[in-house]
A and B are shown apart, each in its own frame.
Chain A
Amino acid sequence: MELYLFDADYVQRLRNGDPESEQHFVGYFRQLLRIKLRARYLPADVIDDIQQETFARFFRALRKEGAIHHPERIGSYVNSVCNFVLQEHYRDQGKHQPAEDADTEIPDKVLSLEKLAITEEVNERVREAVTSLSPRERDLIRRVFFEEMEKDEVCAELGVSRDYLRVLLHRAIEHLRELLENKDLQPKSREPVRKKK
């Protein structure tokens, strides 16, 4: 499997329209954009539109010489473009973009997991992980991610702290990470790993 590193060569290949690099770029950042937009509970069709517009603007900017000053931070650039598109979306809806300052309240709601396509391989690994949990841990995961109960209420009823929930999630991440390192969250996309020198 070919490995990718975000650097000047990578950006140049994108600029040249290299199909593999383009496919990799879109596949990788599509996943991150979808996660970012799901964290804002936007409808699926709006997520698609914002994602498409972000890519369109990125590729338009790419064709302009010198538009991307720091190839190693191409990810930040994609994130910034998405933020502009989001701003315009909220303005078009006649809404104020939610404030992102230090005093704004924590939403305390799990990000939207609806209609998220998961590969069978990931499903299988998660099934193993969940069935190996203790009954209390399984109950915690079920109430938080499936029943979407208030986390304070769940933790109080099960006699665990919020930190316990985070540690449980962290263990699950460690368990799945190895699988995803060479596989995909979404089918038919690839991810960058450190380039072999």
Chain B
Amino acid sequence: MENMDHTEAVRMQAVEKYILGELTPYDRAHFEEHYFDCPDCALNLRSGVAFAAASRQYFAESAVPAKVAHSPRIGWFAWLKPFVAVPAFAALIAVIAYQNTVSIPHLKHEIGSPAAATTTVAPWFSLVTASVHGSSGTRVELQPGQPFYLFFDITAAPRQSDSVFLLQVQNATGKTLVTSTVSAERAQKSVVLAIPPGFREGDYKLIITDQAAGTSTAAGELPFTVAFSR
């Protein structure tokens, strides 16, 4: 294909195919050469990418693990057992999908209390833009004693194919409250981490560490702040 012009780009639905990954590398290269000079195509492309990214965030935030709310004993005694979380909503509603082990030292709250039976569904909070919000990161607004989910991406490339990412949620004093692990393969997709009830108001960080061949390398830090709804 010779240089792509705007008419050709529109005819072949180049913007949509580019976003969906449906162009050959050859056509992709020609379309890139075109949209860098074509404000119309550039605007359409930016709009399409914004839609795809924002809809992804919408579905992440609107996920409702209904069974957690109505059968608290099933979901939340899992801190005693190996527990794994994935962003597949159908799987979460039916069962809690298992991929990683969560250990929760020092937090002994149980959701099986009468108060928990009337607790609203555990909310989800996206840390995808945590670094954009500034040093305090994403604001996590909760009821006291409410569990929640954190949704985030591990963007650092694994150092080795058998790298394991260690996830640690630490409070402002550096004390680790939640620990989990994610394989390098699993980390290619967005990760959901379940946070049990008991978090107090304050600043926290999700620390991501790449562990391979006995060494640890920092792979990311996502801040968030817990605030109770009044």
Residues in B neighbouring A147, C-beta threshold 8 A: 87-88
A110 CA / B88 CA spacing, docked (Å): 18
When the two chains form the complex, which single residue of A98, A108, A111 contacts B18, counting CB atoms closer than 8 Å?
A: A111
| Residue B58 CB within 8 A of the other chain | yes
Task: For A20, list chain B residues within 8 Å (CB).
Answer: none
Residues of B within 8 A of A123 (CB): 54, 57-58
Q: Which residues of B contact A108 (CB under 8 A)?
A: 20-22
Asked if B50 contacts A115 (CB within 8 A), the reply is: no
Whether A126 touches B36, Cβ cut-off 8 Å, given contacts A106-B21, A108-B22, is no
CA distance A82 to B157 in the complex (A): 21
A114 touches B47 (CB 8 A): no
Does A111 contact B21, Cβ atoms closer than 8 Å?
yes
The yes or no answer to B113 lying at the interface (CB within 8 A) is: no
- Chain A residues with a Cβ closer than 8 Å to the other chain, count: 72
- Chain B residues lying within 8 Å of A180, measured Cβ to Cβ, are 43, 46-47, 50
Q: What mask results when residues 145 to 177 of chain A are scored 1 for a CB within 8 Å of chain B, else 0?
A: 111100100000000001001100110110111
Cα separation A192 to B17 with both chains bound (whole Å): 24
Q: Contact check: which of A74, A79, A185 meets B49 at CB < 8 Å?
A: A185
How far is B19's CA from A107's CA once the two chains are assembled, in angstroms?
11
Residues of B near A105 (CB, < 8 A) are 24
Digitize B1-41: 1 where CB-to-A-CB distance is under 8 Å, 0 elsewhere: 10000000000010111111111111011001101111100
The residues of B that contact A181 with a CB separation of less than 8 Å are 43
Q: Are B58 and A115 interface neighbours, CB within 8 A?
A: no
Quick check: is B129 within 8 A (CB to CB) of the other chain? yes
Contacts of B50 in A (CB 8 A): 118, 122, 126, 176, 180, 185
Interface flag for B71 (CB, 8 Å): no
- Chain A contacts of B57 at CB under 8 A? 118, 123
- A113-131 interface (Cβ within 8 A of B): 113-118, 122-123, 125-127, 129-130
Taking the closest CB of chain B, its distance from the CB of A61, in whole angstroms, is: 16
- Supply 20 A–B pairs (Cβ within 8 Å), ascending by A: A31-B46, A39-B21, A44-B156, A75-B36, A79-B33, A111-B18, A111-B19, A113-B52, A114-B128, A115-B153, A126-B51, A145-B55, A146-B59, A170-B13, A170-B16, A173-B44, A176-B47, A176-B48, A180-B50, A191-B42
Known: A36-B32, A43-B155, A173-B44. 12 other contacts (CB 8 A): A35-B46, A101-B26, A104-B26, A106-B23, A110-B21, A111-B18, A117-B129, A145-B52, A146-B60, A169-B16, A173-B47, A187-B132
